[in-house]
Amino acid sequence: MASKIPHKTLANMIAAWAAASTVKARLVMNTTTCDTEIDGIVNLSNYTTIDKSDAGGYADVAVTTETVTSDDGNNRAEYSADTVVFSGLGGDATRDYQGVLLFDYVDGTNANDKSPIFLEFTAPIPKAATQVTVPWNAEGIVQFAQV
């Protein structure tokens, strides 16, 4: 038996998650395992190595102005938000940046913060960067579709 969820319903489900969550972005460096671990990940503590930025002045950034749209032409739902900027970095990170981890901030601990989404940069960002602007995809940060 085949199952299908209308993409407008899928968009509503994602919008409900976004509305109930405090989504934050975490800049991760190049020894992260977020790019290879997908099974069994519920909380951030389920990753072997997150490799959060160790640059002076670093702080996780709130994701703001979240939107979820239904893309009828492509049969998917798209999650978007304002551009995330990590500013005030000391330029003294020990490794280059590989990507950003979006997560539901619960209490600031890896044991309880959850629902991670990892987005890998198309090329590493140099560790000497004092500001990192995350380049979201024009079609949404994440696209949710059925196969």
The residue ranges of every structural domain in the chain are: 7-145
Q: Determine the pLDDT at residue 73.
A: 87
Q: Are 84 and 45 in contact (CB under 8 A)?
A: no
Determine which helix (DSSP H) or strand (DSSP E) holds 19, and give its type and residue range. Answer: helix 7-20
Pairwise CA distance, residues 37 & 63, whole Å: 23
Q: Are 71 and 28 in contact (CB under 8 A)?
A: no
Pairwise CA distance, residues 51 & 9, whole Å: 35
| Residue given tokens 């099974």 in the structure block | 39
Mean pLDDT split into 10-residue runs, the chain, 147 residues: 83 91 97 95 96 98 94 90 97 98 96 92 96 90 85
